[in-house]
Amino acid sequence: MLALINRSFELFVRDCYGKALWERLARQAKVDPRGFFLLQHSSEAVTKVMISEASRILRKSADELLEDLGGWLTRREPIRRLLRFGGRDYPEFIESFSEFPGRAVMVIDSLEAPKLRVTAYSMSLYEVEVESDSDIWVVLLAGVLRGMADDYGALVVIAIEGHVLRIDIALSEYGVMRPFPLIPEQSDQVQP
């Protein structure tokens, strides 16, 4: 699982900050600058060193970087599509969020995502408990939930309290929801 997070972090850094910064980060974190492979074994220590070095280089907190990574993941169309099948609107998406690890395993069978438990206190107040020994998941998922709120056009406040994400939906129809056709648009052009 950590290889997937490490690969995602690598692609996030390359995409948002450039190849040169990734190579500098890789050297300082003592990881292969060619990047990670999804099937290779990786430890949480490697992940934490990479995040720590990126935090130092970019002068951002580790939590900011992990939340940014979560938001960036929601802008990758295959991940966005997987997430959007969770509901018509943001409250419905949150209510089905505990099913996300099971849906993700259908795409990546070796995925070891944490269990998620959603508690609805009202149609606008939810808690998501993240069952994981790692703090990485909690902050990363906060970023995913923020990114999806933007995708659904919802105005939300998300607070992290230990391993619990508290989601307060101020307005579920605050902005324009991004279109979500069930069948992705196909380009008429033939790809070389």
**How far apart, in Å, do the first and last CA atoms of the chain sit?**
34
**Mutual orientation of helices 2-17 and 19-29 as an angle, nearest 10°?**
140
Mode of pairing for the β-strands spanning 125-131 and 164-171? antiparallel
User: Which of 97, 147, 91, 111 is closest to 4 using CA atoms?
Assistant: 111
Residue 71: C-alpha distances to residues 13, 68, 188, 189 (Å): 13, 5, 30, 30
Mode of pairing for the β-strands spanning 115-120 and 164-171? unpaired
Neighbours of 68 (CB within 10 A): 19
Tell me what pLDDT residue 190 has: 42
CATH architecture of 74-171: Alpha-Beta Complex (3.90)
Q: What is the pTM of this model?
A: 0.87
The H-assigned helical ranges of the chain are 2-17, 19-29, 44-58, 62-74, 77-84, 90-95, 100-107, 135-152
CA distance 82 to 103: 8
Tell me what pLDDT residue 185 has: 65
Low-confidence ranges of the chain (pLDDT < 50): 187-192
Tell me what pLDDT residue 189 has: 46
88 burial level (CB within 10 Å; 0-12, 13-18, 19+): exposed
Neighbours of 134 (CB within 10 A): 17
